[in-house]
């Protein structure tokens, strides 16, 4: 049995999520948000970006983001981003950025 890195686990989970979504009728909307989300985290911060996603009813994307983070993070990233201390918030931000980048990459690949 081989050991997978966190990046490999995230990439594998992101591929499954995007593959399933790409067959749906709302994929263009999902793709548009997935392409913009990492930049949103960089410019606004994690809690604000997640809050924006919740306000725009991007539940599909947030659910997929949590699936990609399942092996690394606990459930409830939206709540946790508002409750944790600075060190944990920084670590959570890095993990969310990595996971969202994998979702973005696969959306770009599936989108054409």
Q: For the segment 15-44, what is each residue's pLDDT rounded down to a tens digit?
A: 999 999 998 889 999 999 999 999 999 999
Domain carrying residue 80: 6-111
70 lies in a domain? yes
Instruction: Give 37's contacts (C-beta < 8 A, 6+ positions apart).
Output: 49, 53, 61, 100, 103, 104
In a domain, 68, yes or no: yes
Instruction: With respect to residue 23, please indicate whether it lies within any of the assigned structural domains.
Output: yes
The predicted pLDDT at position 39 comes to: 97
CA distance 103 to 105: 6
Euclidean distance between the first and the last CA atom of the chain, given in angstroms as a whole number: 35
User: What are the tokens at 112?
Assistant: 């054409």
106 occurs within a structural domain? yes
pLDDT mean across residues, the chain: 91
Domain count of the fold of the chain: 1
Domain with residue 38: its CATH number is: 1.10.520.30
Within-domain flag for 1: no
The answer to whether position 56 is within a domain reads yes
Tell me, what's the pLDDT at 25? 85
| 92 within domain boundaries | yes
Asked whether residue 93 is domain-assigned, the answer is yes
């Amino acid at each position: 049995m081989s050991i997978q890195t966190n990046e490999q686990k995230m990439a594998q989970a992101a591929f499954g999520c995007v593959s399933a979504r790409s067959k749906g009728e709302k994929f263009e909307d999902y793709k548009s948000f997935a392409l913009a989300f990492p930049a949103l985290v960089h410019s606004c911060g994690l809690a604000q970006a997640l809050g924006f996603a919740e306000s725009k009813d991007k539940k599909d994307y947030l659910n997929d983001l949590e699936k990609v983070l399942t092996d690394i993070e606990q459930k409830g990233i939206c709540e946790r981003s508002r409750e944790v201390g600075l060190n944990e918030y920084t670590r959570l931000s890095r993990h969310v950025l990595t996971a969202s980048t994998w979702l973005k990459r696969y959306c770009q690949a599936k989108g054409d």
